[in-house]
């Protein structure tokens, strides 16, 4: 029987989904379940790992029934997941000893301070490419071992396993009960040496984490285990954390390719090839999805805390719009702004400014400014912030950027995308396929399954629209200078 489909498990922070792709990279069927969020204390966020597994199983089943295909036609499964979220389970029973601690959870700031007091900042940055932060997995592992009764003894006796969500799902789904992960997920744990590709003994020791808990790390496009679906066996052939899967889905496996996802926040990655570049601008260095032909590539990663959420703020707090979508028409309906800038530093200023105490500000108010202008300035701020991070990437990597690939909810806004191209003075390319993250991991699985080559991937990718710079260069420069002045003024402690 022809193997002509690929399944993608897309396990995100708010939902668990399964998507069935055909050989043309088109979606045949999709099923989704919302994921329950637990907030036991302020700043704490947890998920139930059993719910995640059960939902993944249910959506898998639903998709096969919806598509009405023979499961024998599935060539392979890919898994893409929320990164950094931490699960610890018993090796023998497979039972989690605590809920999954979600990446957003900041309960481990004290453990992070201890690492800083041990003067490990430079070492950890140079080894893992990351900065010490509660966001990453390692301090969450320590928290569970320190706080769950008996956990430390069990861990020392080799009876506990750690995994990010991909590892957890592979362990639960594979008939071999494999304990494995891929390079992209390992590179977000804060204890993986991304130069020598091994778990780092010094960091594990500083956190008192036994190495026996850590999964084996493999190529993102490789064999991870076999799933038994009603007696029919299907291999897991691809695994990648969500942002790296999205980069791969955009075809970003070549040096110099960059993508930006415009969601609640924005996540930007630039593939810098086989060079580990240490950022001078507070960006992270991380591993891209690895394949047999291109085993190890690095990326610079920068995130913008306040992306599309500032549009939600216009809707929910200022109540000057009723939907995010209407911002496009409003932006197009009024003339270009002059000297009006909204710096949405609601959560301080992130990369490359790093001024955590800054607060949001609007500059350039005059009596003719009204609702529409404030809306337009809010939309434009997404483009300016993106340029700030991209400039940092270009300066760190010493390579000019020719094109930016985009996805995410706010990339649907044509005004924003045109303005982005004008301000960056490069092409902005938006794909037709909105499920680029799931498609990315489907590509990784399809490569290993032998149904696609990297060349096919470039052909399968369909472009929705390319935005070319239309604004006069001096106008674009003037606007960006104005933004930079506004950011300088925002760098104040309140
Ligand atoms: P996430 O995956 O982070 O939940 P999405 O990729 O679904 O986010 O994007 C949702 C975000 O995009 C919201 O913050 C919303 O305000 C913003 N957004 C959605 N559509 C538009 C639009 N047409 N113009 C501007 N912002 C938009």
pLDDT in tens, 158-206: 999 999 999 999 999 999 999 999 999 999 999 999 999 999 999 999 9
Distance CA 89, CA 480 (A): 50
Q: What is the pLDDT of residues 125-144, one digit of tens each?
A: 999 999 998 889 999 999 99
Q: What is the distance in A from the centroid of ligand 1 to the CA of 309?
A: 7
For tokens 């891929």, what's the residue? 182
Q: Ligand 1: which residue has its CA nearest to atom 14?
A: 308
CB of 344 shorter than 6 A to ligand 1: no
Least confident of 212-216, 281-285, 349-353, 369-373: 349-353
pLDDT the model gives residue 206: 96
Average pLDDT over residues 52-58: 97
Considering only CA atoms, which residue is closest to atom 9 of ligand 1? 409
Give the pLDDT of residue 350: 82
Which of 410, 418, 437 has the most ligand 1 atoms within 8 A of CB, as the residue to mutate? 410
The 10 Å Cβ neighbour count of residue 293 is: 10
pLDDT-based confidence at 494, cuts 50/70/90?
low
Position 405 in a domain: no
Strand partners, 431: 463
**Contact 412 CB / ligand 1 (< 6 Å):** yes
Query: How far is Cα 480 from Cα 482, in angstroms, rounded to an integer?
Result: 5
Q: Cα of 177 to ligand 1 centre, how many Å?
A: 38
In angstroms, rounded to a whole number, what is the distance separating the alpha carbons of residues 168 and 145? 17
> Residue 42 above 90 pLDDT?
no
The reply to whether ligand 1 has any atom less than 6 angstroms from the CB of 308 is yes
Q: Is the CB of 209 under 6 A from ligand 1?
A: no
Q: Report the number of distinct structural domains present in the chain.
A: 1
**Within a domain: residue 247?**
no
87-106 pLDDT, tens digit per residue, is: 999 999 999 999 999 998 88
CB 347 near ligand 1, within 6 Å: no
Q: Could you read off the pLDDT of 415-459 as tens digits, one per residue?
A: 999 999 999 999 999 999 878 999 999 999 999 999 998 888 888
pLDDT for position 1: 62
Half-sphere exposure of 66 (CA within 13 A, CB side): 16
Q: Does residue 337 fall inside a structural domain?
A: no
Q: Is residue 146 part of a domain?
A: yes
Look up the domain containing 24 and give its range. 5-240
Q: What is the CATH number of the domain that holds 59?
A: 3.30.420.40
- Spatial neighbors of 488 by CB under 8 A, at least 6 apart, are none
What is the chain's mean pLDDT, rounded?
94
Does residue 192 belong to any structural domain of this protein? Answer: yes
Q: 12 CB less than 6 Å from ligand 1?
A: no
Residue having the nearest C-alpha atom to atom 1 of ligand 1? 263
The model's confidence at residue 246, banded by pLDDT at 50, 70 and 90, is: very high
The secondary structure element, H or E, covering residue 299 is strand 298-304
**Domain-embedded: residue 271:** no
């Amino acid at each position: 029987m022809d193997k002509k489909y690929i399944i993608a498990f897309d396990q995100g922070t708010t939902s668990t989904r399964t998507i069935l792709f055909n050989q043309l990279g088109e979606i045949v069927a999709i099923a989704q379940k919302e994921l329950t969020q637990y907030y036991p204390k302020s700043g704490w966020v947890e998920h139930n790992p059993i719910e995640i597994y059960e939902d993944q199983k249910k959506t898998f089943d639903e998709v096969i029934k919806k598509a009405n295909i023979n499961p024998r036609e599935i060539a392979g499964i890919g898994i893409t997941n929320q990164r950094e979220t931490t699960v610890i389970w018993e090796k023998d029973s497979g039972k989690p000893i605590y809920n999954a601690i979600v990446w957003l959870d900041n309960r481990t700031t004290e453990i992070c301070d201890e690492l800083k007091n041990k003067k490990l900042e430079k070492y950890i940055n140079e080894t893992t490419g990351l900065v010490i932060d509660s966001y990453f997995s390692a301090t969450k592992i320590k928290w569970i071992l320190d706080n769950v009764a008996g956990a430390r003894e069990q861990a020392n006796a080799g009876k506990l396993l750690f995994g990010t969500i991909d590892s957890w799902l592979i362990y639960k789904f594979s008939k071999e009960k494999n304990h494995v992960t891929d390079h992209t997920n390992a590179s977000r744990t804060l204890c993986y040496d991304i130069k020598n590709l091994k778990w780092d003994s010094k960091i594990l020791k500083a956190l008192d984490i036994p190495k026996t808990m850590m999964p084996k790390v493999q190529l993102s496009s490789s064999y991870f285990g076999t799933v038994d679906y009603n007696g029919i066996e299907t291999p897991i052939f691809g695994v990648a954390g969500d942002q790296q899967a999205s980069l791969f889905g955009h075809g970003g496996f070549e040096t110099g390719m960059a993508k930006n996802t415009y969601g609640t926040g924005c996540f930007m990655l630039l593939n810098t090839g086989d060079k580990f570049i240490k950022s001078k601008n507070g960006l992270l260095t991380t591993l891209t999805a690895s394949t047999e032909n291109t085993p190890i590539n690095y990326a610079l990663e920068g995130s913008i805390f306040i992306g599309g959420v500032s549009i939600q703020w216009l809707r929910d707090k200022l109540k000057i719009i009723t939907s995010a979508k209407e911002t496009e028409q409003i932006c197009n309906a009024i003339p270009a702004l002059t000297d009006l800038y909204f710096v949405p530093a609601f959560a301080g200023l992130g990369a490359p400014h790093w001024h955590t105490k800054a607060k949001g500000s609007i500059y350039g108010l005059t009596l003719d400014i009204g609702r529409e202008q404030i809306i337009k300035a809010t939309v434009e701020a997404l483009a300016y912030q993106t340029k700030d991070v991209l400039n940092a990437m270009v300066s760190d990597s010493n390579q000019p950027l020719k094109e930016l690939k985009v996805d995410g909810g706010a990339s649907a806004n044509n005004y924003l995308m045109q303005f982005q191209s004008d301000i960056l003075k490069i092409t902005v390319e938006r794909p037709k396929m909105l499920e680029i993250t799931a498609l990315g991991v489907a590509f990784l699985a399809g490569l290993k399954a032998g149904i696609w080559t990297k060349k096919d991937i470039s052909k399968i990718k369909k472009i929705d629209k390319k935005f070319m710079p239309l604004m006069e260069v001096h106008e674009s420069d003037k606007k960006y200078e104005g933004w930079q002045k506004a950011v300088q003024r925002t760098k104040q402690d309140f």
